[in-house]
């Protein structure tokens, strides 16, 4: 049985997370999670001539670090699955060019890392791949000028705006058996949900309904409840979006205990770091997942995690054309096996 309910893949041969690496930018590296990241950048340009080239280089280094950790030569990587917020996902595709591996480009906005875990795990469990690199990144400076305004303008940010994390996370999955460690045991593919939020700064509100829908589908498909998870970690709803999720869950009588629900975006910065609603961007859930959460699983602090990435599937063009901001979410169940 490889399928539960309507939206959830159950992996018959759950892939193992053979290595995971996280990179955080200078600001992210001064936040509450600083000690959990594998690499903290001193300079968000990484010696490159542009922020876009810097983001590509960040992805390349993060993937390389994961391969080094697992002692897997580049030439043995069977697929890289990834994406980012840049138009035409250039950070990921240029990093894939450097790696030389077969490439599966994904776009799920800020949910892309979990999307990669869900699809990569299915390809490994189905016997199509022996290993897969799952990666996603974001960079404050590339995202800000692409989605909103040139940084040089010094535009004031509204309080509901989130701060796109300069960060990257990479997990190397493989089909090794009987060696313990972390496994991805099932994954849920979300639907596009749109409750007509038209404020393109208000990502938390735009994404919370999709996160709720995805978690509800996951629980219905698997017959589980929040009690079956030590922790449910959403991607980047931020402080406001997390409250909205709890409100939606309350109204639908879906059990979601606040003490076992965290949000990566709401965990990434101190309130006094001026990140407003919290962290966001593909790199947020990727770096917090690969840095903090997978390490907590390995330490035995938690044993079963539901990692829920969420994305806002809009573009500046769709906003300019008065379209609302649809959200999506993917969920991956990550468990520690002794």
What is the contact surface with a copy of itself in residues (CB under 8 A)?
A: 1-3, 6-7, 9, 12, 49-50, 52-53, 78-79, 83, 85-90, 93-94, 96-97, 100-109, 115, 119, 122-123, 125-130, 146, 189-194, 313-318, 321, 323, 326, 328
Judged by CB, which is closer to a copy of itself: 273, or 315? 315
Residue 11's CB is within 10 A of a number of other CB atoms, namely 20
Local structure of residue 108 (DSSP, 8 states): B
CB of 272 to a copy of itself, least distance (A): 32
Judged by CB, which is closer to a copy of itself: 107, or 239? 107
CB of 316 to a copy of itself, least distance (A): 7
Host H or E run for residue 332: strand 327-337
d(CA 93, CA 103): 8
Burial 297-312 (b: 16+ CB within 10 A, else e): beeeebebbbbbbbbb
Judged by CB, which is closer to a copy of itself: 89, or 233? 89
Judged by CB, which is closer to a copy of itself: 273, or 323? 323
CB of 99 to a copy of itself, least distance (A): 8
d(CA 108, CA 306): 18
Distances (CA, A) of 233 to 53, 132, 286, 296, 331: 30, 23, 12, 12, 9
Name the residue with tokens 């404050």.
Answer: 140
Judged by CB, which is closer to a copy of itself: 2, or 35? 2
CB of 187 to a copy of itself, least distance (A): 9
CB neighbour list of residue 150: distance below 8 Å, 6 or more residues apart: none
Please give the structure tokens belonging to residue 144.
């800000």
CB of 159 to a copy of itself, least distance (A): 24
């Amino acid at each position: 049985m490889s399928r539960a309910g309507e939206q959830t893949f159950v992996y018959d041969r759950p892939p193992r997370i053979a290595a995971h690496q996280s990179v955080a930018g200078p600001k992210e590296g001064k936040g509450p999670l600083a000690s959990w990241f594998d690499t903290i950048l001193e300079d968000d340009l990484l010696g490159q001539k542009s922020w876009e080239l810097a983001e590509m280089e960040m992805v390349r280094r993060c993937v390389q670090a994961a391969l080094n950790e697992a002692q897997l030569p580049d030439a043995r990587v069977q697929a890289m699955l990834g994406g980012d917020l840049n138009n035409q996902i250039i950070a990921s595709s240029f990093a894939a060019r450097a790696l030389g591996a077969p490439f599966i480009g994904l776009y799920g906005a800020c949910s892309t890392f979990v999307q990669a875990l869900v699809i990569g795990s299915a390809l490994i469990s189905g016997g199509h791949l022996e290993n897969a690199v799952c990666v996603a990144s974001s960079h404050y400076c590339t995202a800000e000028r692409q989605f909103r305004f040139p940084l040089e303008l010094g535009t004031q940010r509204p309080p509901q705006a989130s701060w796109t994390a300069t960060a990257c996370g990479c997990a190397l999955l493989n089909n090794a058996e009987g060696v313990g460690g972390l496994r991805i045991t099932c994954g849920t593919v979300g639907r596009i949900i749109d409750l007509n939020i038209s404020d393109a700064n208000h990502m938390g509100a735009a994404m919370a309904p999709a996160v709720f829908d995805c978690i509800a589908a996951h629980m219905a498909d698997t017959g589980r409840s929040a009690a079956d998870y030590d922790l449910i970690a959403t991607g980047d709803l931020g402080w406001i979006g997390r409250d909205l999720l709890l409100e939606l869950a309350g109204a639908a009588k879906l059990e979601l205990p606040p003490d076992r629900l965290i949000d990566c975006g709401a965990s990434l910065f101190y309130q006094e770091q001026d990140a407003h609603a919290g962290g966001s961007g593909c790199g947020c859930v990727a770096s917090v997942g690969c840095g903090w959460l997978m390490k907590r699983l390995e330490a035995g602090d938690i044993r079963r995690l539901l990692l829920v990435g969420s994305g806002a599937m809009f573009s500046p063009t769709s906003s300019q054309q008065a379209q609302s901001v649809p959200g999506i979410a993917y969920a991956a169940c990550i468990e520690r096996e002794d």
